[in-house]
Amino acid sequence: MADRYWVGGTGIWESTTNWSDSSGGSGGYSIPTSANSVYFDANSFTDGGQTVTVSAGVCNSMTWENVAYLPSLLFGESGYITTYGDITLYHAMYLEYTAPDLNAFAHSSFMLEYTPVVSRFKIGGDCHLATDTLPVPPIEVLENGTLYLTEDTTFTTLWVRGDFDAQGYNITAQGIKFEPADT
């Protein structure tokens, strides 16, 4: 399984131009597949306002760490990333969407480490929620999903049709709805 590193700033996920086999290396390597872990780091962006645009992406796991210049991960209309491993996002980044809902991470274990501006996250796999005490946008836990808290958490709204394990942590929310999964 070869790792892929984003390089060169602004680009399109589905193009080889911005993918390298090393941090800060040359672009032109293959687009990530389910066998590749992808990394966005201090060598990925060179200026403010740079954006990674995604229509249809795939990777094993995705890690954003120590990125500079507040880059954006932009999901085009109906855009998604299918992730088969863990996701770690960085607090100094933006998520942007043209579609009203986020379905991007339905196959993954999702580590949330930032406060995005989105309408709703849909969790279809295991989600270990680490928010650094920042409020969380609305979250919908689907029938096949499980949400685990790793600290006291403030939600705007939480809708659980799957499983939820607060693990003894406190919840503050404007609204919480638990309902049985469809049978």
Q: Over the stretch 113-164, which tens digit does the pLDDT of each residue have?
A: 544 444 466 777 777 777 766 677 778 887 877 888 888 988 888 889 889 9
User: Higher confidence at residue 110 or residue 15?
Assistant: 15
Whole-number pLDDT of residue 109: 58
Question: HSE on the CB side for 147, CA within 13 Å?
Answer: 28
pLDDT bin (cut points 50, 70, 90) of residue 13 is very high
**What sign does the CA torsion over 102, 125, 30, 25 have?**
positive
pLDDT in tens, 53-99: 998 888 988 888 899 998 988 887 767 787 777 777 777 787 776 65
Question: At residue 111, does pLDDT exceed 70?
Answer: no
One-letter amino acid at 45 equals F
The residue with greater pLDDT, 44 or 175, is 44
Q: SS3 breakdown of the chain: % helix, strand, coil, rounded to 5?
A: 0, 45, 55
When pLDDT is cut at 50, 70 and 90, the band that residue 21 belongs to is very high
Q: What order of strands is seen across the sheet that includes strand 51-59? A: 11-12, 51-59, 72-83, 94-97
pTM: 0.69
pLDDT at 15: 97
Tokens (6 digits) for 108: 């993954």
- Give whichever of 35-44, 106-115, 127-136 has the largest mean pLDDT: 35-44
Q: What is the pLDDT of residue 14?
A: 96
What pLDDT, on a 0 to 100 scale, did the predictor assign at position 105? Answer: 57
- The confidence band for 16, taking pLDDT boundaries of 50, 70 and 90, is very high
Find, among 169, 106, 108, the residue nearest to 133 by Cα.
169
Q: Which of 3-17, 43-57, 66-80 has the lowest mean pLDDT?
A: 66-80
